[in-house]
Structure 1
Amino acid sequence: MQSTGNILEVVNYFKCSADIQSCRSYGSGHINDTYRLINTDADGQDYLLQRINHSIFGNVEELMQNMSKVTAHLKCKIIERGDGDPLKEVMTLVPAKDGRFFYKDGDGNYWRMLYFLKNTKTYDIVETPKQAFEGGKAFGRFQEMLSDIPAGEMFEVIPGFHNIQKRLQHLQTAVAADAFSRVKSVAAELDVINDYAEAMQYFQAPAQVAVLPKRVIHNDTKFNNVLLNNNDEAQCVIDLETVMDGYVAYDFGDAIRTIINTSAEDEADLNKIQLNMPLFVAYTKGYLTWAAKFLTVAEVDSLGKGVLLLPYMQAVRFLTDHINGDVYFKTKFAGHNLQRAKAQLQLLKLLDECSAAMQEIITQEMNNN
């Protein structure tokens, strides 16, 4: 954790003219450190300052080029269409004094600054169908506005981010090394992962690769990456550092993973993990109000597969990190990543039981559009 003095020193390297009254840790992200900077002028602009985890994002310059390209594209789309406010509906990056959208301090840490959007909120757990519907609209609109950017224009900031074959290879490497002697205690979880492994190769199968287009997607559509206004209406999609090419089903599946679960991502009592199907229906309705404008038949057919893949992939990632000694995700207590993995595997089991019904709902809602 950085001291307030160090943070305010970093602020001086950005084109931020406001006096900053205070700063405090902000948000619940697993990867970066985020601080809210409060303006001494109550009517002035507040800011978010983030220390980028450069052990995960190895090329910060490419990452920030992606973010600046996407935010500029989204702002232009909103202006062209005349249907919104680009300053409220798109994240605004603040340049450093050298013109770049990041600053590297003397300790080798990388920082970026953004406008803080007041009168907004996020939810880690979705509470109402309206919230789910608005989240679906937000991510559907986000994908639709980026759908005219050709594949290949974005840097791949984390190679193979949603490639399950790669994730399983990482798990196998961790198991073979067993650096912290944890493999024996996770045998049951490894059995479940192995049982599902073949079915989860859908997006790497040649038949699907041939028909599914790569698009610019968010790649991290947890529900708390949507800002809602005070009326629980979608306002802005945030956390754009993983925006790069991928399959739309990855975004759909990750959103459903965090929306349909009645409990937290790291729920310890697996009996509390249940599916809230009305939230699935609401999100799907909202998503397809925008995504139906560009989705292909093959993409629609793949959405249900994404719903199963993403909790499975998160379980693989959490378990891998647990075996490796908790070096990737932030943890709050011993065994946190294992607890997360167990919760995701329980969620996967429930989703698998409802997979046919969910795909039918997707098809029906697509026909309604």
Structure 2
Amino acid sequence: MAPACVDAAVRAAAHFSAGPDGLSVAEIGSGNINDTFLVSSSGQAPFILQRISRQAFSQPEQICANLQVISRHLPPQAVAALVPARRWLVPQLLTSHEQGLWWCDATDNFWRAQSYVANAATLPGLTSLEQAREVGRGLAIFHRLVAAIPATALQAAIPHFHQTPHYFKLYEQACQADNQPQASALTHQCHDFILHRAQQLSTLEDAKEQGELHEAVIHGDPKLANILFDNKTQQACALIDLDTVGPGLRLYDLADCLRSCCNLSAPDQTPEHNRFDLEHCRAILSGYLEQGRPLLTAADHYYLAAAIRLIPLELGLRFFSDYLTGCHYFKTDTPHHTL
């Protein structure tokens, strides 16, 4: 990360910290969208500071409004009562010295701070089926906690998030854009892959429109990197990166979680070597049903397989469309990163 960004984070951290003494700011995480920092200072518990991408979130204030709704419904004492058998934490928003839930710097960067979940860490990958079951339990616990919040109480921080027909329209627009990257065998393969599956893209949205599937409050991005495990018990103890929390189908969360956790290939593996591991899928679903069986309807069970196929395709659409339009949405290391 450029020193200028770290310097900006230090200036932003000062608006949320107790004072300048011992102020330390370190980049953490490997997210594709926002910049995340761990802030420490004398006389104050460490906290998480994030610079929210305005490219991804056109109204970042809505993120804070959604998190405020979550915090009001789930203060720490309520969470402890609802999940008595294990440690479970919901990150809380911190207020700035200006008494706001965010702070904008001179160049209009949007910064917000949240409480830090100590003595916990994410996993770089799953190494056992018990870890997979814990992933499922953790996602179900989150769904249980937010189940009493009406989906209408939150707004979509990203309009049309996970609505695959919308991403297909953006893909079609990207195909007509000027200054596209030079066509290659791989881009032709991607186009063919998408077009051969175009008829499947509206399956879940059609079921929602027909009243078979219903919206609830969901996390929106429950990949393995967004699940914290307690250092002592090795149990899932929090879902983090709550920017995408909002109304949606629980199947979106389940399928996205499975997409993230059941591909055991190395990140730089070529596509033909990727595979969806059924053992880990069964373990995650088993853990989810232990904690969240009543949350799923017969229609959820029926459409689960379709969701598992659809969500990776949706993410592929988003990456490929971003590649075709110049890689402005996702963070990239090379011009072909999102390809």
Residue in structure 2 matched with residue 228 of structure 1 by the alignment: 229
Structure 2 equivalent of residue 351 of structure 1: none
* 1:200 corresponds to: 201
Determine whether 1:38 maps to 2:40.
Answer: yes
State the TM-score, normalized to the length of structure 2. Answer: 0.91
Corresponding position of 2:241: 239
CA–CA separation in structure 1 for the residues paired with 2:262 and 2:35: 27
Q: Is the 8 Å Cα contact of residues 146 and 216 (structure 1) preserved in structure 2?
A: yes
Cα contact 2:207–2:213 (8 A) shared by 1: no
Structure with greater helix share of residues: 1
Q: The residue matched to 1:336 in structure 2 has which SS?
A: coil
* Deviation string, structure 1 residues 217-243 (Cα, Å, up to 9, x no partner): 011111111000124210101011111
Give the secondary structure class of the aligned counterpart of 2:238. Answer: strand
* Residues 1:235 and 1:34: Cα distance change in structure 2 (over 3 Å): same
What per-residue deviation string (whole Å, max 9, x for no partner) do you get for residues 57-113 of structure 1?
111222101012113323364144361688x61112211123221111111011011
Give yes or no for the alignment of 1:306 onto 2:323: no
Partner of 1:93: 93
Aligned to 2:119: 119
- Show the counterpart of 1:157: 157
Residue deviations 1:304-333 (CA, integer Å, cap 9, x gap): 221111100011111101111111100112
**Equivalent position of 2:264 in the other structure:** 262
1:9 aligns with 2:11: yes
Q: For residues 199 and 6 of structure 1, do their structure 2 counterparts lie closer, same or farther at Cα, with a shift above 3 Å needed?
A: closer
Provide the rounded CA distance (Å) in 1 between the counterparts of 2:208 and 2:201: 14
**Is 1:25 matched up with 2:38?**
no
Identity of aligned pairs, percent? 26
Answer whether contact 2:135 2:284 (CA < 8 A) is retained.
yes
CA distance in 1, matches of 2:179, 2:70: 40
Unaligned runs of 5+ in 2: none
Aligned to 2:108: 108
Residues 266-286 of structure 1: CA deviation (Å, up to 9, x unaligned): 434234323322211111011
Is this contact kept in 2: 1:16–1:94, CA < 8 A? no
Aligned CA distance change for structure 1 residues 210 and 82 (closer, same or farther; 3 Å): closer
Residue identity in the other structure for 1:298: A
What amino acid is aligned across from residue 107 of structure 2 in structure 1? Answer: D
* Residues in 1 aligned to 2:10 and 2:115: alpha-carbon distance in whole angstroms: 16
- TM (normalized to structure 1)? 0.84
Distance 1:82 1:171, change over 3 A: closer
Contact 2:89 2:117 in 1 (8 A): no
User: RMSD of aligned C-alpha atoms?
Assistant: 2.2
- 3-state SS in 2 of match to 1:319: helix
Gap regions ≥5 residues in structure 1: 339-369
1:121-177 deviation per Cα after TM superposition (whole angstroms, max 9, x unaligned): 112422211211111111111111111222211112111111111100101111111
Q: Secondary structure at the match of 2:112?
A: strand
Q: Partner amino acid for 2:158?
A: I
- The CA distance in 1 between the partners of 2:74 and 2:131, in whole Å, is 22
Change beyond 3 A, Cα 1:50–1:99: same
Secondary structure at 1:36 match in 2: strand
